[in-house]
Structures are given as C-alpha cells and as structure tokens.
Amino acid sequence: MLLCFEDASALCHDYQHLVGNHVQKGRRNIATITAVVIAPYDELSKYRFLERYKRNNRVENSLSFYNGLLYDILVIARPLQGHDLLVYELHKFLVEYTCENHQAFA
C-alpha cells in the first residue's frame, strides 16, 4: 500500500486493535500479532527495516535510516510454533487472513 508518512501513521493507528489477536488460517491459530507498524515502501528498505526491528523491537530506531517519502503498513506476528517473525503487508493480510476476534477488521 503506497502511503505518505501522515497517511501511514493514521492507518497504522486505526489498526492497532489487531495487536494481541491470533492469526488464523482456516480455523487454526498460527500466530499472535505483536505489532502493526509503519515501514518503508520499497523492498530493500523494508528488508533493512525488518532486520533492525528484529534486533530492537522499536519502530523509531528501525526506521531512522530511511529518507524516502513512501511508506507501507506491516502486520508483524510471532508464530505459535517456531521463532521467526511472520510479516504481512496490511492490505494483503486483510484479504488473506482472519483473526480470532472476527470483529477485528470492522
């Protein structure tokens, strides 16, 4: 989703209610959402952001290198089994997955 920083901030704020919900695939819980964050839009910068975020869990520090003008929103989840983070672009997440609280997207 291509956004300016102000729009990304507002949208990110609107979806904070997802944090703490379980991600479901079918009827099975697969992960717990730990964060909904603003990230760089381009893939290389998004990768750099995520590597920094994995180390410090702080969006501001992880985003400090980025000088671009375009942003995206990411849903970050910890799998119930395994250690790697699961990362979804918000617009794709909303189409492909559900949460345990089916009112989450209202």
Q: Domain boundaries in the chain?
A: 5-99
Choice among 16-25, 69-78, 95-104 with the minimum mean pLDDT: 95-104
Give the Cα separation of 19 and 5 in Å (integer): 21
Distance, in Å, from the CA atom of 77 to the CA atom of 10, rounded to the nearest integer, reads 21
Q: What is the CA radius of gyration of the chain?
A: 13
Token pair in block for residue 25: 């695939």
pTM over 0.85: yes
Return the residue matching tokens 């904070």.
16
Predicted confidence (pLDDT) per residue in 22-60, tens digit:
998 888 889 999 999 999 999 999 999 999 999 998 999
Distance CA 10, CA 31 (A): 25
pLDDT digits (tens, 9 = 90+) for 47-56: 999 999 999 9
Please state, in angstroms and rounded to a whole number, the distance separating the CA atoms of residues 37 and 47: 14
